[in-house]
Amino acid sequence: MAKQTQRVEIRVTVDELKTLDAYCQMVDLNRSDVLRECIQSLRKKIKKMNNKV
């Protein structure tokens, strides 16, 4: 069964978008994939923080 997805829209500055696009080009990933990677890194941070408590 396919994973259920949700759409998220964010507003960013022109400079933030340029930074995102530059990174996407460097790593050859699209915006969605890069943002998913960022969210996954937050999961790891949360897990680490919960283990410290």
Q: How many domains does the chain have?
A: 1
Backbone dihedral angles phi then psi of residue 29, each to the nearest 5 degrees? -130, 155
Q: Flag whether pLDDT at 24 surpasses 70.
A: yes
Name the pLDDT band for 2 (thresholds 50, 70, 90). Answer: confident
Give percent above pLDDT 90 in the chain. 91
pLDDT given for residue 25 in this prediction: 98
Q: Domain for residue 23, yes or no?
A: yes
Q: Domain for residue 35, yes or no?
A: yes
Question: What is the span of the domain harbouring residue 48?
Answer: 14-52
pLDDT given for residue 52 in this prediction: 81
Q: Domain for residue 36, yes or no?
A: yes
Q: Domain for residue 27, yes or no?
A: yes
Q: Domain for residue 31, yes or no?
A: yes
**Distance (Å, rounded) from C-alpha 18 to C-alpha 5?**
26
